[in-house]
Amino acid sequence: MSSNSSIANSEMPENLMYQLIALRDELNRLVLSVDSIGKIFDDMTLTLPKFDPSELGFIRTVSWLYGLYYEAGKIGVNFLIRYLEVYDLDADGQKKDHFKLVQRMRTFIVHNLDLSARHDQQIAASCQQWFKPRCGSSDPNIEEHWRSLLLALLADSIQFLKTLRDCVKKIEVDESMEIVFQQWALKLKRYHPPHAFDSLIPSILDDIGRAQMDPMRLRSKYYADWHRALECLNDDYIFEDEARKLIEFSILSETNQTLPISGKDIIENLNVPAGPKVGELLETAKQIYAVSRCEKLVLLRKLKEFLEGAGPELSYSNSLKSISVKYGNIIVAS
């Protein structure tokens, strides 16, 4: 977004932040009348950033904006961004770029990047590309640099929220307003915030006898996976049922025992080439071990029997399916 730094420099960051908050509140008011939506931005527990010194001000502002866009406004902002194209409000793509930049900037300033990894390289490059025209350096290191960047970021975010506001106003007068709000409401309905899981985890832990496990640690570790899995479900799912399945699966993954053999043992002892088949055999070993714990050599022998039982005339894929059932029966019988 072309934040005009010469204009922005004449401003105080506090003034820009007030404008930003005013816009956030205006956006919330605009959709307040739609019952099914309520408001775009939830309340934030993050305190407003302090801007002095500018470097810290910039870092705090990035975190605050991340909280605003990606947490408090997670559904609404994401939803409205899709409509910028429909109403031709972001022809040059700068608003979307700002939205993405806040996320990347947060990663850039908060995490230790691995610059040999392409993903991290891209994050660093896009942040540095944003720095350079706004403060004159792609490696800001003096107060002036940081102040310029802080003002530019705030100016960009004001433009971003103004555009979201314009978008809501366009929806309001659109003939298709109803369908748009319907879709928004449905997105909200399918969103399950972390606390929705928090209320389920303790009772599940009790039910399966894992009461000593820390519910918060479990949720922090697996929430992203659970959230993504629920997003992929069709409409007829019942949150409590599906969430329970996901939570229980995660608990069991946490409590799995280490196998007495490794992939290396399979390669060396069973002459299986390195690759997906080793993974398949480890899975089989896991199933065998879960039912009947045994020592390394016994487990390897069982795996070998399993392999030999497959017979040379059958392919791995076919044999694995049929034999694993058969082997499963033997174990159960034993």
Partner 1 sequence: MNTDNQNLYAHLMSNRPSYLFLGQDYLRLETGIDALLANIVKKYGTSEATRSSASEFSYPALLENCSFEDQEYARNWISNIALRLVSPTWLDVVSNLPWSGVYSSSIDTLLVRAFRNSWRSVQPVFSKKFSQPDPRSRTNLHVTYLFGCIERENEEERSPLNEFDYIRRLPDSTILLSRLKEQTTPFGKIFIEGYRSERDWLTARDLATLALSMDADQIHLFSASEETKSDPMIIRLSKSSRIVLHDESLATFLNQGLTSGQINFEPRKEFRRDGHYITLGVTAVEIPENIWAITNKLATILDDSLFTSPKNLSDEWRYRAFKNFLFESGTRPVWEAYPLGFALERDFEKDLHNYVHNRFKRKSFGSDPIILHGQTGTGKSVALGALAYKIRLEKQYAVLFIERSPYGPIATDLDQFCKWAEDNGFSATLLVWDAMGQIEQYSTLQKYLSGRGRNVVIVGSSYKLDLTDADSESLIFAPPTLSEGESTRFKVLLSKFEPSLGEQLDNLLKKKDNTFLVALYRLLPDTRGQVKYGLQRETGAAEIALKEQASQISPEWTGGALLTAFQKIGFLNQNAFLSDRKKEIGGEIFSDTEELVGLIMVPGRFGLKVPIELVVRTLGSAKAANFHKIFESIDIFRWHSDDQGNLFIGTRHPLEAKLIAQARLGGPKQEVEFAKKLLIEISDSEDRFENTQIQFAADLLRNMGPNGPERKLYANSYEDIADCLLKLRLERGIANPRLMLQEASLLREAVVAIPVVGDEINRRLELLERAADTLRTALKEISANFKTRRLRAMLLVELASTLGTKVRELITNKTDSNSIMETFFEARRVAFEARTLQPEDFFPIDVISWSTKDLIQGAKIDEASRLDIIVDLMSTLETCDEQSMNMRDREIFNKRRVELGNILKNDSLKENALERLEAMGSCAGYYLNALMLSQERSNEPLTDEVLARYTNALNFLQGHIEKIEQDGRCLFLLLRYWWIVNARKPLFGGERQLLPFNRGQWQYLIALLDKLMSLDAVYKTPSNSYLRAIATWSIGYFDDAEELWKDLQRVSESVTGRRRVAKTYVSCNDNGSPILYNGTIEWIAEDGNRGEIFVEGIRQKINFFPKDFGVNEPRDGQAVSNFCISFNYIGPIADPLHHVKQ
Binding residues (CB under 8 A) for partner 1: these are 79, 82-83, 86, 116, 118, 121-122, 174-176, 178-180, 182-183, 186-187, 189-190, 225, 228-229, 231-236, 264, 267-268, 271-276, 280, 283, 312-315, 317, 320-321
CB 327 within 8 A of CB 309: yes
Looking at the Cβ atoms of 33 and 116, the one nearer to partner 1 is: 116
| Dihedral angle computed from the Cα positions of residues 75, 77, 81 and 82, in that order, rounded to the nearest 10 degrees | 10
Least distance (Å) from partner 1 to the CB of residue 268?
A: 5
Looking at the Cβ atoms of 118 and 212, the one nearer to partner 1 is: 118
Looking at the Cβ atoms of 5 and 183, the one nearer to partner 1 is: 183
Helix, strand, coil percentages for the chain (3-state, nearest 5): 70, 0, 30
Looking at the Cβ atoms of 86 and 208, the one nearer to partner 1 is: 86
Closest to 331 in 3D by CA, of 296, 294, 297, 295:
294
Least distance (Å) from partner 1 to the CB of residue 19?
A: 29
Question: DSSP per residue over 148-174, as a string?
Answer: HHHHHHHHHHHHHHHHHHHHHHHHHTS
| Dihedral angle computed from the Cα positions of residues 7, 8, 11 and 16, in that order, rounded to the nearest 10 degrees | 130
- In a 13 Å sphere around the CA of 91, the CA atoms on its Cβ side amount to 1
Least distance (Å) from partner 1 to the CB of residue 140?
A: 22
Looking at the Cβ atoms of 190 and 301, the one nearer to partner 1 is: 190
Least distance (Å) from partner 1 to the CB of residue 217?
A: 19
Rounded distance, CA 267 to CA 333, Å? 29
Rounded distance, CA 150 to CA 135, Å? 10
Looking at the Cβ atoms of 30 and 272, the one nearer to partner 1 is: 272
Question: DSSP per residue over 37-49, as a string?
Answer: T--SS----SPPP
CB 76 within 8 A of CB 41: yes
Looking at the Cβ atoms of 85 and 295, the one nearer to partner 1 is: 85
Looking at the Cβ atoms of 82 and 301, the one nearer to partner 1 is: 82
Least distance (Å) from partner 1 to the CB of residue 320?
A: 5
Rounded distance, CA 184 to CA 228, Å? 18
Least distance (Å) from partner 1 to the CB of residue 314?
A: 8
CA 272 from chain center: how many Å?
37
Least distance (Å) from partner 1 to the CB of residue 266?
A: 10
Least distance (Å) from partner 1 to the CB of residue 110?
A: 23
What tokens does 155 get?
């100016």
Rounded distance, CA 219 to CA 197, Å? 7
